[in-house]
Amino acid sequence: MEEVVLNVARQHQATSADTVEVVTLDRVFTDPGAQLAQQETYQGLPIRRIGYRGSSRYPLAPSVLSAIRSADLVHLHGIDFFYDYLALTRPLHGKPMVVSTHGGFFHTAYASRMKQLWFQTLTRTSALAYARVIATSENDGELFAKVVSPARLRVIENGVDVEKYAGQGAATPGRTMMYFGRWSVNKGLIETLELLQAMLQRDPQWRLIIAGREYDLNEADLRKAIAERGLQDKVQLSMSPSQEQLCSLMQQAQFFVCLSRHEASASLRSKR
């Protein structure tokens, strides 16, 4: 989601005379003890960070109202507290709003019954406050069609920045797969290890690189899963690599793999 927000904001800024500001939270969910700067400029974009309380699943941040006070249009990303709160308080702030879904909150089976009830009631009601609900995948489009009228629902799949890592794949043939992104349960990382097991039965040359940052799976979780499957010498973990380190890892791989249960980007292919 962060990459999508960055690219949308940069494109908006580059193709208009508008002032674009990103409002987000001042702590990373996986390291809540580290507080980020309240204001910063990143790649030419002003970033404003606000505090929150409560769970990372539903962070409470009512100060968002002051953060959007000067906005002419609010483009919200994700279905969480901000989605419900800005809908509830729309009579106060009066801002026109659109929202991009990014999978909603159905990334895991956690509290699935409660999620369904919430979706059919509060999510449905909150949707009325948004001029457009932008489903970021066909799956999201089918899901949100249950609670949003066709006139206000659009499917616009997340774009891919094909220039960022262009030409970074291995120059020679090989049998190395790579995943990079959040270490999240819904990204299918455990299933990817099982895929590697099956491929090793056909060719012992296969190996896997898993790069990214911890989320609801941490490094210890993955190392345990790797050890349980006897894949210690076949899997390389790289936690929170820099852009330079990530490019170096890509140069070792011929294939990108992502067994996400809910979303995927278009135009992913072998890097061979």
pLDDT at 106: 63
pLDDT tens across 128-168, in order? 999 999 999 898 999 999 999 999 999 999 887 778 788 88
CATH superfamily of 176-256: Glycogen Phosphorylase B; (3.40.50.2000)
CB of 176 within 8 A of CB of 146? no
Check if CATH label 3.40.50.2300 holds for domain 2-155. no
pLDDT at 31: 75
pLDDT tens across 238-271, in order? 999 998 999 999 999 999 999 987 554 443 333 4
Domain boundaries of the chain, sorted by first residue: 2-155, 176-256
Give Cβ neighbours of residue 24 (< 8 Å, ≥ 6 apart): 47, 48, 49, 50
User: ∠ CA 196-200-205 to the nearest 5 degrees?
Assistant: 105
Output the pTM of the full model: 0.76
For the chain, residues with pLDDT lower than 70 are 105-111, 262-272
CB of 104 within 8 A of CB of 141? no
State the Cα torsion 88-123-99-179 to the nearest 10°: 140
What gap in Å lies between CA 206 and CA 181, rounded to an integer? 21
pLDDT at 236: 98
**E strands present in the chain:** 22-25, 27-28, 31-35, 39-42, 45-50, 74-77, 97-100, 132-135, 153-155, 176-183, 207-214, 235-239, 255-256
